[in-house]
Amino acid sequence: MSSNKIELDHKDMVHDSAIDYYGKSLATASSDSTVQISSIGGASAPSQLLATLSGHYGPVWRVAWAHPKFGSILASCGYDGRVVVWKEGAAGQWSQAHVFDNHKSSLNSIAWAPYELGLCLACGSSDGSISVMTMRPDGGWDSTTIEQAHPVGVMAVSWAPATALGSIVGSGELVQKLVSGGFDCVVKVWAFVNGSWKLDSVLPSDMHTDCVRDVSWAPVLGLAKFTIASASEDGKVVIWTKGKEGDKWEGKVMHDFEAPAWRVSWSLTGNILSVAAGSGDITLWKEASDGQWEKVTKLLGSGQSNMSSNPVGVDNTFRRKFDKEEYLERARQREREEKEEARKGKEKGPPVQRQPLKHRDYEVDLESRLGKTQVVTPIAPLSQQAGYYCKVCECVVKDSANYLDHINGKKHQRALGMSMRVERASLEQVQKRFESLKKRKDPDLDERILKQQQEDEERKRQRKEKKKEKKKELAAQNEPEEDIDPDVAAMMGFGGFRSSKK
């Protein structure tokens, strides 16, 4: 069997590697917080570094390629609790298509679902939960969480084949199941039922006596049983089998390596199992006709491990061999730096002088985006996201009230170089202010004020005249009519016409 050595440019330990579907690109994860993608060359075309992806804030534990049906997509997870989905664009440029950071602690394992289920990624975390991320047709992502899957932490996840037992690929109802292993020494099977994940089976817990480092669900390819392999810190690799639905899972120890077993991986046909155990030993195993597992070959011997050239079974123990002298010197250097900082702290210079608070020389825009529709994507820059963007503090505030509180607050003013104290105005500044207001005064203001006063007086005078005319009319109506003959009035029984006023 020929081998090809690939030189990597990582500056720290390599924890995982994965080859893409076509076997042309190798992705590696390292403690230097980066993911590197290299080409896999041959004798005539040596390998070369294609891209270095920086999106994690700590060691990167795992990388996984998605099916090429969805394009060139790679996922990575790490100690920072983040899952980054990378996508290759034009000219070989890689970008972050999605970042998932809902977990509270380290993400130890990721696995893409079979392509029949769509672009779907399962993630296992040290916080004890499993998350399943699914991309929607519009490009967004939905996520569901299996809380407390392994309360003390999830170490590994693997998807079941999408085809049912005994069926041909592409026919029948799709199977949507997961297997997980954790620090609780237990292997569990989960099923997606009625829109949520439910616990399907808990495999017998007496098979492993230490942390389950890895699990791998074998391809079905028309076989009449499900098969799962699990690797544990106790050195045992267990093969779990199950027949038709309703049967129980049965476990059998394939081999005890008497050293921690780190990774297990099935071949595409599901009949050969690769195991990484001990200090760099990778072995291939095949089931014989009598049901016993036999070692086919040993790829690497002890002390000859080369993680960069072997994507299967790389070290994921998170344990390093430390040079005591080197780290002792680092500790001494840190102590010297701390003493130096403490000494500088006692000799602090004068405090930073900030400018007094000033009024804004611009209008705050709060209404220009009212009633407008905006498409917001998870990877859009902050300035294009929903809400009010502050370019000084580089943050987004969701509503106008909080935005006003922010730009009037201490943090924003300090970013502008101002304190929260208002400058006390002097007599000279007040006089200059009055002078500037006088200069801004409208020269026709006095004339307009005088004209307005005259108009008000004229309206008052007109109202008084109208009141006098009304009084005269009423008085004229109530006066007695003198042209009536007194004899006629006496004959008619009238004593006279007088006003009712007294």
Indicate if 281 and 149 belong to the same structural domain.
yes
- Final residue of a structural domain among 284, 300, 316: 300
Residues 279 and 402 grouped into a single domain:
no
Kind of pairing between the strands at 355-357 and 418-422: parallel
175 is a domain residue: yes
Distances (CA, A) of 310 to 39, 52, 256, 318: 14, 19, 22, 18
Domain assignment of residue 427, yes or no = no
Same domain, 109 and 228: yes
Q: Are residues 146 and 283 in the same domain?
A: yes
Query: In whole angstroms, how far apart are CA 144 and each of 104, 122, 162, 196, 464?
Result: 15, 10, 19, 8, 82
Please indicate, yes or no, whether residues 77 and 198 belong to a single structural domain of this protein: yes
266 and 401 in a common domain: no
As a whole number of angstroms, the distance between CA 274 and CA 248 comes to 25
Q: Residue 400 pLDDT > 70, yes or no?
A: yes
Q: What is the average per-residue pLDDT within 51-72?
A: 92
From the centroid of its chain, how far is CA 219? Answer: 32
Query: H or E stretch including 435?
Result: helix 427-439
What pLDDT, on a 0 to 100 scale, did the predictor assign at position 360? Answer: 82
Residue 405: pLDDT over 50: yes
Residue 280: how many CA atoms within 13 Å on its side-chain side? 11
Mean pLDDT of the region 113-120:
92
Is residue 354 in a domain? Answer: no
Classified as helix, coil or strand, 383 is helix
Tens of pLDDT along 184-240? 999 999 999 888 999 999 998 888 989 999 999 998 766 678 899 999 999 999 999
Instruction: Over range 329-358, report the average pLDDT.
Output: 77
Q: How many domains does the chain have?
A: 2
Coil, helix or strand at residue 106: coil
Average pLDDT of the residues in 289-315: 58
Q: Is the pLDDT of residue 323 over 80?
A: no
Q: Position 343: which residue type?
A: R
Ramachandran region of residue 36, left (φ > 0), alpha (ψ -120 to 50) or beta? beta
The pairing of strands 73-78 and 60-65 is antiparallel
Q: Does residue 286 belong to any structural domain of this protein?
A: yes
The answer on 162 and 45 residing in a single domain is: yes
Domain shared by 63 and 208, yes or no:
yes
- Are 55 and 192 part of one and the same domain? yes
> In terms of domains, do 296 and 409 share one?
no
Q: For residue 304, what pLDDT band results from cuts at 50, 70 and 90?
A: very low
Q: Mark which of 277, 300, 323 sits at the end of a domain.
A: 300
CATH number of the domain residue 228 falls in:
2.130.10.10
pLDDT for res 74: 95
Residue-range definition of the domain harbouring residue 400 = 386-422
pLDDT recorded at residue 237: 94
Cβ contact 104:84 at 8 Å: no
**Would 473 be classed as within a structural domain?**
no
Q: pLDDT at position 83, please?
A: 94
What gap in Å lies between CA 401 and CA 369, rounded to an integer? 15
DSSP 489: H
Q: Are 47 and 40 in contact (CB under 8 A)?
A: yes
Q: Does the pLDDT value for residue 5 go beyond 90?
A: no
111 confidence band (pLDDT: 50, 70, 90) = very high
Taking phi over 0 as left and psi of -120 to 50 as alpha, with beta for the rest, 445 belongs to alpha
- pLDDT of 247 > 50? The answer is yes
User: Which pLDDT does position 484 carry in this prediction?
Assistant: 62
Closest CA to 240 of 182, 294, 181, 290: 181
Burial of 134 (0-12, 13-18, 19+ CB in 10 A): middle
What is the pLDDT of the chain when averaged over all its residues? 83
**What confidence score (pLDDT) does residue 182 get?**
92
C-alpha 143: how far from its chain's center?
A: 11
Q: What is the pLDDT of residues 19-32, one digit of tens each?
A: 998 888 999 999 98
Report residue 16 as tokens.
């995982």
How much is the pLDDT for 305?
40
Q: With bands split at pLDDT 50, 70 and 90, how would you rate the model's confidence at 317?
A: very low
Q: Evaluate whether residue 100 is within a structural domain.
A: yes
Confidence of residue 159 (pLDDT cuts 50, 70, 90): very high
Give the Cα separation of 360 and 320 in Å (integer).
56
Summarize the confidence of residues 27-55 as an average pLDDT.
86
Instruction: Pick the last residue of a domain from 248, 283, 300.
Output: 300
**Quick check: is 324 in a domain?**
no
Residues in the chain: 502
The residues with which 229 forms a beta bridge, in sequence order, are: 216, 239
Contact 18, 325 (CB under 8 A): no
pLDDT of residue 79: 92
Comparing 49-63, 97-111, 438-452, the range with the smallest average pLDDT is 438-452
Cα Rg of the chain (Å, integer): 42
For residue 161, count CB atoms less than 10 angstroms from its CB and return exposed for 0-12, middle for 13-18, buried for 19 or more: buried
Q: In the sheet that 14-19 helps form, which strands lie side by side, from edge to edge?
A: 14-19, 25-30, 34-39, 49-54
Residue 321 has pLDDT above 60, yes or no: no
Which position has the higher pLDDT, 23 or 313?
23
Q: Looking at residue 313, what is its pLDDT?
A: 43
Whether the predicted pLDDT of 62 surpasses 60:
yes
Is 61 part of a structural domain of the chain? yes
Task: Note whether 290 and 410 are same-domain residues.
Answer: no
Provide the 10 A C-beta neighbour count for residue 409: 13
Query: Are residues 174 and 64 part of one domain?
Result: yes
Q: Which of 135-139, 260-264, 326-330 has the lowest mean pLDDT?
A: 326-330
- pLDDT over 50 at 308, yes or no: no
For residues 178 and 44, what is the distance between their CA atoms, to the nearest angstrom? 42
- What is the CB-side half-sphere exposure of residue 250 using CA atoms within 13 A? 8
Sheet holding 250-256, edge to edge: 212-217, 226-232, 236-242, 250-256
